[in-house]
């Protein structure tokens, strides 16, 4: 039968109305162990009961008990096939310790909190029960013995025993209480459960259990309806119907149902949800499963940036505040109000599944239409604030972050579309979850699930978006909150799916430009399994397209291929061809450096040389290695002797000593050239200045700076004074520091204006001595490296 879709109008109100029916935590049973407090139990005909209960006194106590009955309809009957336990009525025993009453009151308060009841619980002593070996009680439900009775409390006194577990069932769920503390003979144990829950006591296997039973009643309320165990199955079914008929569209692909309490991103997991939030989250997860939807717990962030109004308009400082900080050292939020809003966003991140496992779906944008909340966004609590006062001509600015936990739901049929629209990281994380599910699938289902994974993987490549750079992430409003993402994950997933065609597409269409796509040591093994020739064209395309943005990633990829531990001739030949292409690409990059862009990635040329030397030496790519060394030695601007060449050589010292088992002319040339340059630099030590003449080249030609230049050039004058106004003194400060003059400068604060006193130093000579000593030390180490390699 065709199903009628629900009209968009009012659908959110219906969902909020249904979820509001879950007004308490979902717990129907609570239990615990406590240090022993003696109840002062005295039983008629037995006397004071010593604890833990011994066998002799237990037998005597059983002799004073009566067989416990059970309710059958309107009758109370004794049937040992249904219930076999001994009982004593309160009129025949006493609890003489005054502290016992206080203890039971504390337990009742804990039960009230655990069950999420708003009104106070009052305990009423009902029976003393004695279980012996073979005692049990079949599944049953307690009757309402008192007006307002809502729950039953069982307090087990210390008495060694085995078995006798209490089983409480409700709406298909089962809770088992073993009374471990009392069974050990050292502690008290208690359990409380809603009176309308079915429960049973399994047979006691050995020993005796001694329990005090209380009826718990609620304080009176204007509500006349009785309080029963929370029933969420019907609510979940109703919400499941809403999810099934939700007006999903291109504008509303997912919905985020907010929870009540605040959580930090670290504290957001389903087992840490507070109060009624846990029960509501469970209901939403149940409803999503029934409706064929996907559900996750996540954190919504509403970010605003704008002008700050009010407060101290002369304030120029910076203030940062977060309610997630636990050290108590941060400032309080400012008193400023958000004025004009320059920018804002609404996003969801920090995902976890129903089992509490983190899911790296990344950050997804949200629309207002996708949020279902009983509280408008303007009433959300402030999570973090950053304020900056006046800076130059800029006014005061305010940034605020508002957080809200939510269960985010979307149709499983739209799973690929939602994740792909949300971004590449979200889609890859979704594929990861599918592949993990594929591994657990039954053999009969695996082919179909693998086919779904392959279709999704192809869709990810089709809509692949550029990943945010480190620069973009740094200035993103939520960069501090982003989940980390493993950039090698997608290639590994394609390998696990045994999809060589898709891996070739990833190389040709994505990896050529996107440096975030990385390959780990599993990739060469996959290439070997499918044949190296299968991937040669795609790998060549990646290497040929090398840019300053991808050069480090591509060098790492080449190293991974070259250092694969096998002697396969086809792999080695391929690596030699790729090495030749890589050196050509590097020569092209260095010949045409990118235009100045402070955001462009800086190439670690020392690390690059280390990686390439390892690769080329390993596969005996001698000709490309010779070109690489010659190229690097010829371009001293990019490849500094100390910071690039020597740093790389010293990093390779151990590796070359262990791996280099044949003469490699390029390595010998490299070491010899560096040695020659170091010997030239250390042939003569720096000469100290013969007089007070110093370098007089300055960047400024104003009158004061011309006087400063003359002073620097003067071989006889060591100290010069400039009696100048503040602005002129500051200018001279800047010129001296900016040109690294061999001068110290201090202000003598006498007279008007003050006097800037400049004194010549030997700073340049001392710096040259430091460089000379460094070069000598490097030469000694380089000679040792060469000797080790030659040996």
The residue range of the domain holding 38 is 29-218
Please check whether residues 407 and 264 belong to one and the same domain.
Answer: yes
Q: Which of 186, 259, 190, 187 is nearest to 22 (CA)?
A: 259
- Give a yes or no: residue 165 inside a domain: yes
Burial string for 22-41 (b: 16+ CB within 10 Å, else e) reads bebbbbbbbbbbbebebbeb
The string of DSSP codes covering 229-269 is ----HHHHHHHHHHHHT----SS-S-EEEE-SS---STT-S
Question: Among the three residues 387, 413, 439, which one is the final residue of a domain in this structure?
Answer: 413
For the chain, how far is it from start to end, CA to CA, in angstroms?
Answer: 86
Please check whether residues 101 and 211 belong to one and the same domain.
Answer: yes
Average pLDDT over residues 173-183: 93
Please check whether residues 263 and 366 belong to one and the same domain.
Answer: yes
pLDDT at 253 over 90: no
Please check whether residues 161 and 194 belong to one and the same domain.
Answer: yes
pLDDT at 41 over 80: yes
What is the pLDDT confidence band of residue 223, given thresholds at 50, 70 and 90?
A: low
- Give a yes or no: residue 615 inside a domain: yes
For all residues of the chain together, what is the average pLDDT? Answer: 88
Please check whether residues 11 and 94 belong to one and the same domain.
Answer: no
Please check whether residues 784 and 637 belong to one and the same domain.
Answer: yes
pTM: 0.63
Please check whether residues 155 and 236 belong to one and the same domain.
Answer: no
What is the pLDDT confidence band of residue 55, given thresholds at 50, 70 and 90?
A: very high
- Give a yes or no: residue 611 inside a domain: yes
Q: Which of 216-220, 307-311, 431-435, 605-609 has the lowest average pLDDT?
A: 307-311
pLDDT at 677 over 70: yes
Helices (H), 714-760: 726-738
Question: Among the three residues 196, 218, 240, which one is the final residue of a domain in this structure?
Answer: 218
What is the pLDDT confidence band of residue 687, given thresholds at 50, 70 and 90?
A: very high
What is the pLDDT confidence band of residue 34, given thresholds at 50, 70 and 90?
A: very high
Q: Which of 213, 180, 188, 208 is nearest to 38 (CA)?
A: 188
Q: Return the SS3 of 300.
A: strand
pLDDT at 51 over 50: yes
- Backbone Cα Rg of the chain: 39
Please check whether residues 13 and 70 belong to one and the same domain.
Answer: no
Name the DSSP class of 35: E
Count of other CB atoms within 10 angstroms of residue 310 = 12
Question: Would you state the pLDDT for residue 328?
Answer: 43
Domain CATH number, residue 741: 3.30.1370
pLDDT at 681 over 70: yes
Domain CATH number, residue 71: 2.60.120
To the nearest whole percent, how much of the chain has pLDDT over 90? 62
Please check whether residues 715 and 604 belong to one and the same domain.
Answer: no
Cα 496-612-681 angle, rounded to 5 deg: 155
- Which residues neighbour 71 within 8 Å (Cβ) at sequence distance 6 or greater? 140, 143
- Placement of tokens 């502690």 in the chain: 187
Strand order in the sheet with 209-218: 29-35, 187-194, 149-157, 209-218, 121-131, 86-88, 66-67
Contact 434, 456 (CB under 8 A): yes
Interval 364-423: pLDDT, tens? 888 888 999 988 887 788 888 888 776 656 678 888 888 899 999 999 888 888 888 878
Name the DSSP class of 364: E
Question: Would you state the pLDDT for residue 145?
Answer: 72
Please check whether residues 12 and 33 belong to one and the same domain.
Answer: no
Question: Would you state the pLDDT for residue 242?
Answer: 92
Q: Which of 291-300, 435-444, 480-489, 611-620 has the lowest average pLDDT?
A: 480-489
Question: Would you state the pLDDT for residue 257?
Answer: 94
- Give a yes or no: residue 170 inside a domain: yes
Q: Which of 5-9, 595-599, 734-738 has the lowest average pLDDT?
A: 5-9
Interval 516-536: pLDDT, tens? 899 999 999 999 999 999 999
More confident residue, 790 or 180: 180
According to DSSP, the β-strands at 93-95 and 382-388 are unpaired
Question: Would you state the pLDDT for residue 226?
Answer: 66
**Total structural domains in the chain?**
4
Question: Would you state the pLDDT for residue 476?
Answer: 38
Distances (CA, A) of 471 to 301, 478, 599: 21, 13, 7
According to DSSP, the β-strands at 166-170 and 198-201 are antiparallel
Average pLDDT over residues 231-248: 89
Which stretch of DSSP H or E encloses residue 342? strand 337-352
What is the pLDDT confidence band of residue 93, given thresholds at 50, 70 and 90?
A: very high
Q: Which of 160, 166, 256, 261 is nearest to 213 (CA)?
A: 166
- Give a yes or no: residue 479 inside a domain: no
What is the pLDDT confidence band of residue 148, given thresholds at 50, 70 and 90?
A: confident
Q: Which of 318-322, 440-444, 485-489 has the highest mean pLDDT?
A: 440-444
Distances (CA, A) of 60 to 42, 43, 163: 13, 11, 22
Please check whether residues 306 and 265 belong to one and the same domain.
Answer: yes
- Give a yes or no: residue 642 inside a domain: yes
Question: Would you state the pLDDT for residue 470?
Answer: 35
- Give a yes or no: residue 538 inside a domain: no
Question: Would you state the pLDDT for residue 478?
Answer: 39
Please check whether residues 114 and 9 belong to one and the same domain.
Answer: no
Average pLDDT over residues 646-672: 92
Question: Would you state the pLDDT for residue 717?
Answer: 96
- Give a yes or no: residue 520 inside a domain: no
Question: Among the three residues 413, 446, 463, which one is the final residue of a domain in this structure?
Answer: 413
Which residues are 667's β-sheet partners? none
Which residues are 210's β-sheet partners? 130, 157
């Amino acid at each position: 039968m065709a199903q009628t879709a629900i009209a968009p109008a009012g659908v959110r109100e219906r969902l909020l109305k249904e979820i509001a029916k879950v007004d308490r935590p979902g717990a129907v049973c609570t239990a615990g162990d406590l240090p022993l407090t003696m109840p002062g139990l005295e039983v008629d005909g037995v006397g004071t009961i010593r604890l833990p209960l011994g066998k002799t006194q237990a037998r005597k106590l059983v002799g004073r008990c009566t067989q416990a009955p059970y309710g059958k309809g309107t009758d109370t009957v004794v049937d040992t096939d249904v219930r076999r336990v001994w009982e004593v009525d309160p009129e025949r025993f006493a609890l003489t310790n005054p502290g016992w009453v206080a203890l039971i009151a504390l337990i009742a308060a804990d039960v009230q909190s655990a069950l999420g009841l708003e009104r106070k619980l009052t305990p009423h002593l009902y029976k003393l029960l004695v279980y012996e070996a073979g005692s049990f009680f079949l599944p049953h439900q307690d009757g309402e013995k008192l007006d307002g009775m809502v729950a039953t409390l069982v307090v087990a006194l210390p008495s060694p025993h085995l078995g006798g577990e209490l089983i409480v069932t409700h709406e298909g769920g089962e809770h088992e209480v073993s009374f471990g503390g009392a069974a050990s003979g050292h502690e008290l144990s208690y359990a409380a459960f809603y009176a309308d829950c079915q429960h049973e006591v399994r047979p006691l296997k050995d020993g005796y259990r001694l329990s005090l039973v209380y009826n718990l009643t609620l304080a009176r309320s204007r509500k006349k309806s009785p309080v029963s165990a929370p029933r969420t199955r019907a609510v979940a079914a109703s919400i499941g119907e809403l999810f099934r008929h939700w007006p999903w569209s291109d504008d509303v692909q997912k919905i985020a149902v907010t929870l009540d309490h605040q959580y930090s991103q670290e504290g957001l997991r389903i087992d840490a949800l507070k109060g009624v939030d846990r029960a509501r989250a469970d209901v939403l997860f149940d409803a999503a499963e029934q409706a064929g939807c996907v559900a996750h717990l996540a954190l919504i962030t509403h970010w605003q940036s704008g002008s700050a109004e009010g407060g101290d308009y002369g304030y120029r400082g910076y203030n940062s505040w977060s309610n997630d900080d636990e050290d108590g050292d941060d400032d309080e939020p400012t008193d400023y109000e958000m004025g004009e809003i320059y920018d804002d966003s609404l996003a969801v991140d920090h995902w976890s599944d129903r089992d509490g496992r983190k899911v790296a779906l990344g950050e997804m944008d949200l629309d207002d239409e996708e949020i279902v909340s009983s509280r408008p966004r303007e009433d959300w609590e402030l999570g973090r604030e950053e304020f900056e006062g006046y800076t130059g001509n800029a006014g005061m600015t305010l940034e605020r972050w508002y957080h809200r936990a939510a269960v985010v739901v979307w149709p499983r049929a739209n799973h690929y579309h939602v994740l792909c629209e949300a971004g590449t990281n979200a889609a890859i994380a979704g594929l990861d979850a599918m592949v993990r599910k594929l591994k657990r699938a039954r053999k009969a289902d695996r082919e179909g699930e693998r086919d779904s994974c392959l279709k999704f993987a192809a869709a990810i490549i089709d809509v692949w978006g550029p990943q945010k750079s480190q620069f973009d992430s740094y200035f993103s409003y939520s960069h501090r909150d982003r989940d980390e993402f493993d950039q090698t994950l997608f290639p590994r997933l394609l390998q696990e799916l045994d999809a060589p065609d898709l891996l070739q597409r990833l190389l040709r269409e994505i990896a050529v430009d996107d440096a975030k796509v990385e390959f780990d040591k599993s990739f060469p093994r996959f290439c070997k399994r499918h044949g190296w020739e299968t991937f040669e064209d795609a790998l060549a395309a990646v290497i040929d397209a090398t840019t300053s943005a991808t050069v480090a990633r591509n060098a790492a990829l080449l190293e991974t291929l070259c250092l694969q531990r096998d002697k396969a001739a086809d792999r080695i030949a391929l690596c030699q061809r790729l090495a030749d292409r890589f050196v050509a690409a590097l020569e092209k990059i260095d010949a045409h450096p990118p235009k100045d862009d402070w955001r462009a990635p800086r190439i670690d040329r020392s690390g690059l040389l280390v990686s390439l030397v390892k690769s080329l030496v390993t596969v005996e790519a001698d000709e490309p290695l010779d070109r690489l060394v010659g190229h690097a030695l010829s371009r001293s601007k990019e490849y500094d002797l100390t910071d690039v060449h020597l740093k790389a050589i010293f990093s390779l010292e151990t590796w070359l000593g262990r791996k280099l088992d044949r003469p490699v002319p390029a390595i010998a040339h490299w070491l010899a050239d560096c040695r020659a340059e170091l010997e030239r630099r250390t042939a003569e030590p720096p000469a100290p200045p013969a007089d007070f003449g110093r370098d007089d080249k300055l960047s400024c030609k104003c009158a004061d700076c011309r006087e400063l230049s003359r002073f620097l050039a003067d071989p006889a004058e060591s100290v010069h004074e400039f009696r100048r106004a503040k602005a002129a003194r500051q200018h001279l400060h800047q010129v001296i520091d900016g040109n690294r003059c061999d001068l110290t400068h201090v202000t003598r604060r006498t007279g008007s204006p003050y006097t800037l006193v400049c004194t010549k130093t030997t700073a340049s000579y001392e710096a040259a001595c430091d460089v000379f000593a460094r070069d000598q030390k490097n030469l000694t180490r380089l000679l040792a490296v060469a000797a080790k390699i030659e040996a």
